[in-house]
Amino acid sequence: MSITSIKRIAVVGAGLMGHGIAQEFALAGYSVSLSDLDEERLVQARDNIENNLKMLGLTAESDLVAEKLTTAADMPVAVRDADLVIEAISENLSAKRSLFAKLDSICKPETILASNTSTFMPSQLAEATNRPSQVLVAHYFNPPYLVPLVEVVASQTTSSATIDTVRDILISIGKKPVVLEKESLGFIANRLQAALLRECFALVENGVASPNAIDTVVKSSIGRRLAVAGPFEIFDAAGADVWNAISEQLMPDIESSSQVPPMMSKLVSDGNLGLKTGRGVHEWTDDTAAELRSRIAHFLQEMRRWDQDE
């Protein structure tokens, strides 16, 4: 299958990620079916998409999206004629494997099955199907209509044609896909984020700095550079000799534990899960949580415009 063969797309799961993924394909002119077992979530998904388009200044395109997007609580009906199915359900391996087995039995033989998982490897999902050459991961980032990256992760059994088709269709709708050279738990972005978080928690647990101080350091220095230059570009700009000298002193002291940081585990056991509970590392009110979400969305909108102007 090639990009010209992709006419109909189905997204399974209408939650935080699913509705945004469906929105982008519909906006690009594809016929999209969005399914979810929860009919109220499907109604909310349409409202969210309408609000997203207003925020993006794309109100004029609302009619196109409404025409191209259908919603259905009946998953088999939604996916039956799809050429590409993107799974965006909860991050539960057993549930995903069960869904992929069902998709395999319902979809056309040539249909590509992709997962938006942020953690699991495509081989773990391909094993549940009889079409391992047509299974891969297409990992979007929240919110998918503002963050351009999609990590494309194939297993050893995924065909090059499947990889090329998914990469090309993502490029065609304005995404920036990165194809990993081999599958790896957490892929690229989440491994980098996890490594940074491990050191952040270690700095707090060892009494080096407060969470507020660490957030300020990242926002006011490396975070600004990383928005426009990657780690290896920054490395080359400073010089390998400089970083080698720093690393000789620093690497032995950097946190290298293979365990979840104790502070993180305690937050979970205490039920302090972040914005959703009003307390995590920081305390949150409705107003401060809304301000954080707004600040992130505003910055991502500005970056999106910057990308479009390049």
84 and 111 Cβ atoms separated by less than 8 Å: yes
Catalytic pick among 115, 139, 155, 183? 139
Checking if the pLDDT of 232 tops 70, the result is yes
Strand partners, 274: 279
* pLDDT recorded at residue 3: 87
Number of domains in the chain: 2
Active-site residue, selected from the candidate residues 31, 118, 159, 272: 118
What average pLDDT is seen over the chain? 95
Look at residues 117, 150, 179 and tell me which one is the last residue of a structural domain: 179
Residue 310 pLDDT > 80: no
Regarding whether 301 and 170 lie in a shared domain, the answer is no
Asked whether residue 116 falls in the same domain as residue 16, the answer is: yes
For residue 173, tell me if it sits in a domain: yes
CA 147, 153, 158, 159 dihedral sign is positive
Q: Hey, what are 38's tokens?
A: 């929860």
Considering 35, 151, 155, 183, which one is annotated as catalytic? 151
Note whether 196 and 169 are same-domain residues.
Answer: no
Q: Is the pLDDT of residue 213 over 90?
A: yes
Express each pLDDT in 79-110 by its tens digit.
999 999 999 999 999 999 999 999 999 999 99
- Note whether 284 and 228 are same-domain residues: yes
Catalytic hit among 190, 255, 272, 282: 190
Say whether 118 is catalytic.
yes
Q: Are residues 129 and 223 in the same domain?
A: no
Of 124, 145, 179, which one is at a domain's C-terminal end?
179
pLDDT at 285 over 70: yes
Answer for the pair 45, 12: CB distance below 8 angstroms, yes or no. no
Are 239 and 92 contained in the same domain? no
282 lies in which domain range? 189-309
**Is 51 one of the catalytic residues?**
no
More confident residue, 303 or 168: 168
Asked, for residue 79, whether it belongs to a domain, the answer is yes
Q: Are residues 147 and 248 in the same domain?
A: no
Residue 304 has a CB neighbour count (10 Å cut-off) of 16
The reply to whether 159 falls in a domain is yes
Cis (ω within 30 of 0) for the bond into 143? yes
257 found inside a domain: yes
Instruction: Map tokens 């010209």 to a residue.
Output: 4
Same domain, 140 and 37: yes
pTM here? Answer: 0.93
The CATH number for 158's domain is 3.40.50.720
The per-residue pLDDT for range 33-52, each reduced to its tens digit, is: 999 999 999 999 999 999 99
pLDDT at residue 2, rounded to an integer: 77
Residues 24 and 166 in one domain: yes
Give the model confidence (pLDDT) of 56-81 as tens digits. 999 999 999 999 999 999 999 999 99
Together in a domain, 248 and 172? no
Residue 156 in any domain: the answer is yes
Q: Is 248 a catalytic residue?
A: no
Question: Could you tell me how far CA 64 lies from the centroid of its own chain?
Answer: 25
Task: Please say if the pLDDT value at position 197 is more than 90.
Answer: yes
Specify whether 98 is located in the same domain as 243.
no
- Average pLDDT, stretch 197-204? 98
Q: Answer yes or no: is pLDDT of 309 > 80.
A: no
Do 174 and 66 reside in the same domain of the chain?
A: yes
Does residue 126 lie in a domain region? yes
pLDDT of residue 308: 74
pLDDT band, very low/low/confident/very high, at 22 (cuts 50, 70, 90): very high
Residue 4 pLDDT > 90: no
User: CB-side exposure of 109: number of CA atoms within 13 Å?
Assistant: 0
57 within a domain of the structure (yes/no): yes
Q: Is 184 a domain residue?
A: no
Note if 139 is an active site residue.
yes
Query: Do residues 142 and 117 lie in contact, with contact meaning Cβ atoms separated by under 8 Å?
Result: no
Sign of CA dihedral 251, 254, 259, 264: negative
